[in-house]
């Protein structure tokens, strides 16, 4: 039996927390060049787009288990935005920069058809920190 991903549940939880605390929730979305037809291309930088999903900035926000959708203004033009929940790479409170980042998921051709998680960015950041702190306490990934 396929279990649903925890990602949309965590996104909704951090969104609720941001709203209750009066913070601005910001969604970081990884953009696939071939499937970004309803995203504002002028706002995509380095394969990622950041959305302010505060209740004052968007209308009809729906964070479902498979799709996140809302309408918002970009350069004065109302656009309907939707993207898979799995493409979200993080959600943070803009004012205090606290939230949650998700590991990068790659959909390579594998035997099971399930996504493979890639921890390249996490491990490379850890290695960089460790190399700067030679002789001091170091970070390590606990799995």
What one-character-per-residue DSSP string does 83-136 give?
Answer: EEGGGEEEEEETTTTEEEE--EEE----SS---EEE-HHHHHHHHHHHHHTTTS
d(CA 60, CA 53): 10
Q: Report helix, strand or coil for 61.
A: strand
CATH of 7-102, one of 3.40.190.290, 2.30.30.220, 1.10.150.530, 3.30.450.40: 2.30.30.220
Q: In whole angstroms, what is the distance from residue 15 CA to residue 128 CA? A: 31
Please report, rounded to a whole number, the percentage of residues in the chain having pLDDT higher than 70.
69
Kindly give, in sequence order, each residue whose CB lies less than 8 Å from that of residue 4, ignoring residues fewer than 6 positions away. Answer: 65
Locate the domains of the chain by residue range: 7-102
Phi, psi of 22 (to 5 degrees): 80, 20
Contact, 27 vs 14, CB < 8 A?
no
**What's 28's DSSP letter?**
E
**pTM for this structure?**
0.69
pLDDT in tens, 120-138: 444 443 344 444 444 455 5
pLDDT in tens, 87-110: 999 999 999 999 999 987 655 544
């Amino acid at each position: 039996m396929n279990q649903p991903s925890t990602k949309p549940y965590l996104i909704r939880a951090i969104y609720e927390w941001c709203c209750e605390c009066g913070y601005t929730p910001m969604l970081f979305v990884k953009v696939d060049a071939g499937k970004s037809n309803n995203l504002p291309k002028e706002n995509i930088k380095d394969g990622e787009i950041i959305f302010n999903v505060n209740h004052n900035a968007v209308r009809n926000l729906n964070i479902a288990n498979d799709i996140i959708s809302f309408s918002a203004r970009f350069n004065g033009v109302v656009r309907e935005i939707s993207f898979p929940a799995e493409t979200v790479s993080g959600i943070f409170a803009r004012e205090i920069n606290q939230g949650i980042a998700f590991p990068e998921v790659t959909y390579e051709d594998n035997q099971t058809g399930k996504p493979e998680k890639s921890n390249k960015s996490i491990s490379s950041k850890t290695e960089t920190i460790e190399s700067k702190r030679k002789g001091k306490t170091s970070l390590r990934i606990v799995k």
